[in-house]
Amino acid sequence: MKSLLSTAAVLVSLAAPAFAETSSATYAQIDSEIGCKGSATDIKKDLIFNTKYRGRTVTWTGKVHDVKNGKLWLQTPGSRSIGSDFDVEMDSSVDLMQFDKGQTVTVQFEIKDYMGCFMPLFGKNGTLAAK
């Protein structure tokens, strides 16, 4: 009986919606820890990213670099990157046709992944943040 109850509890917890924990981390803060200028080794950067940032919800402002494949490609204010600093897969309710290159937007999204210091940080479930 105890095993059956434990199994039921696990199934209920798996079915319950998971809400991402909010983080006040900035792009600059994350970049300083796991970006190209960070002193941590790659394995330590992975650990930092997975324990402190992956799955957290952030609200960041950036300039539209491009819109492709359902994603906003954004540069942080003052960016020297020739590409984007962070790419956010936007929620399907967001009309991506409303954006122009160079437009400043504030988005709220869940941090999904990073692929090393020369690649942008990736996010998902992006929405426009209230102004």
Distance CA 6, CA 104 (A): 49
Give the C-alpha distances (Å, rounded to integers) separating 66 from 48, 70, 102: 29, 11, 9
| Average pLDDT, integer, range 90-111 | 96
Q: Are 91 and 55 in contact (CB under 8 A)?
A: no
Q: Answer yes or no: is pLDDT of 36 > 80.
A: yes
Domains of the chain: 22-128 (2.40.50.140)
Distance CA 123, CA 113 (A): 7
Distance CA 23, CA 45 (A): 18
Where residue 100 falls among pLDDT bands split at 50, 70, 90?
very high
Q: How many CB atoms lie within 10 A of CB 3?
A: 7
Distance CA 96, CA 75 (A): 17
**What token pair was written down for 117?**
């210091």
Where residue 117 falls among pLDDT bands split at 50, 70, 90?
confident
Q: Which amino acid is at 4?
A: L
Looking at every residue in the chain, the average pLDDT score rounds to 85
Distance CA 100, CA 65 (A): 8
